[in-house]
Structure 1
Amino acid sequence: MDPAAEVTRLLLDLTNGEPAAADRLIPIVYEELRRLAAHYLRDEHAAITLQPTALVHEAYLRLVAQAMPDWESRSHFYGVAAHLMRQILVDHARRHRSQKRGGGQVTLALDGVVALVPMKSDDIVALDDALSALAAVDARKSRVIELRFFGGLSVEETARALNVSVGTIGRDQRLAEAWLHRELSRGES
């Protein structure tokens, strides 16, 4: 069976109360989650104290600690996992930043897609603050960025997860990147 379809089937089994589904699901999703975690931590100062395996394990613990959501698909699962990893990185960055003296202004140039990750701890906090502000204005655009860059989903997977067209995802992504660039540039001045 196709791994993506297998993940979706196992998530549905898990949602329907089949406990053995979790045992079969973990080995399938673990490597993908670890790959995402390694991507987030590449060139990240937090990587000195936070390894990809620890990030995946913390995300997994948070996933199983919450009330079991109705997993709709593989994209939904990875989106939730990506959100949790983002929160873990932001929490870690905030703790790290609070230990420093001063604080100063955070600067981050957001020139296209690649600039969103990887980032330094202060950059992650600034991006999280900007994404939260964007979510208050337009939740879907914030979710597009989260799914695409923190979740590692393709444009097509993001469109399916949000139940919109691929063209809408493209437009939302471009507008969200421009909005984030503006917000993050304000911290530079």
Structure 2
Amino acid sequence: MTGTPHPDLLDALRAHEELEQLVPLVYDELRRIAHRQLAARAPGATLQTTGLVHEAYLKLVDQSRARWSDRAHFLAVASLAMRHVLVDRAKARLAQKRGGGRVRVSLDEDRIAADDQPEALLQLHEALERLAAVEPRLARVVECRFFGGLTQEEIAESLGIAVRTVERDWAKARVLLRRALLE
């Protein structure tokens, strides 16, 4: 069968080509974000920095219609993909353990050891999902900072808001998430 490819297929191919061109330009930054996320893990953890970057890349490829307005926006989306990779792994670890109670989660640390604390990571993920339902921008700020390791300036740039707004949103989100985690 010959003819013109379907427009959706062309859009997916263009998005994939854009991703292929963008990743090499920000690969070191993606590794920094991934390394930061995995820095608190226990010795012998199974997921390494490169593995997290590659798994996040696969999630980004699945988002064939994604468009990134700039570097900061792409890094914010990539940090969200890393969050989902870590949450998926935490769910799998908990399924293997068949149990696990509530644990204390601290937002002051700006990271959770994904391999050591799957319960904490899942609790944060669930609280963040509830926050996103009522305050989507606050949830994005947390994702960018906590999971992406972006600076306040980078978050402001990626979300198109002022740095001061990011500071206020981070403070408000921490209070709301702490409440949600205590429930």
State the TM-score, normalized to the length of structure 2: 0.82
Which residue number corresponds to residue 65 of structure 1? 62
Distance in 2 between residues matched to 1:47 and 1:41, nearest whole Å:
12
* Cα contact 2:93–2:118 (8 A) shared by 1: yes
State the TM-score, normalized to the length of structure 1: 0.79
Tell whether 2:169 aligns with 1:175.
no
Identity %: 43
Distance in 1 between residues matched to 2:120 and 2:17, nearest whole Å:
40
Q: 1:24 offset after TM fit, Å? A: 4.7
80-89 vs 56-65, which moves further: 56-65
23-32 vs 127-136, which moves further: 23-32
Q: Are the structure 2 counterparts of residues 37 and 56 from structure 1 closer, same or farther at C-alpha, using a change threshold of 3 Å?
A: same
Q: Which amino acid aligns with 1:118?
A: I
* Cα contact 1:109–1:185 (8 A) shared by 2: no
Q: Are the structure 2 counterparts of residues 121 and 156 from structure 1 closer, same or farther at C-alpha, using a change threshold of 3 Å?
A: same
Distance in 2 between residues matched to 1:102 and 1:16, nearest whole Å:
43
* Cα contact 2:101–2:119 (8 A) shared by 1: no
Q: Which amino acid aligns with 1:34?
A: R
159-168 vs 135-144, which moves further: 159-168
Q: Are the structure 2 counterparts of residues 147 and 164 from structure 1 closer, same or farther at C-alpha, using a change threshold of 3 Å?
A: same
Which residue number corresponds to residue 143 of structure 2? 146
Which residue number corresponds to residue 121 of structure 2? 124
Which residue number corresponds to residue 79 of structure 2? 82
User: Over aligned residue pairs, what C-alpha RMSD do you find?
Assistant: 2.5
Which residue number corresponds to residue 12 of structure 1? none
SS in 1 for 2:67: coil
Which residue number corresponds to residue 94 of structure 1? 91
Distance in 2 between residues matched to 1:171 and 1:43, nearest whole Å:
27
Q: 1:26 offset after TM fit, Å? A: 3.0
Count residues with an aligned counterpart: 170
1:78-115 CA-to-partner distances (Å, cap 9, x unmatched) read 011100000000000011011113322222233x3xx2
| Structure 2: gaps (5+ residues) | 1-11
Q: 1:45 offset after TM fit, Å? A: 4.7
27, 34, 51: which one aligns with 2:48: 51
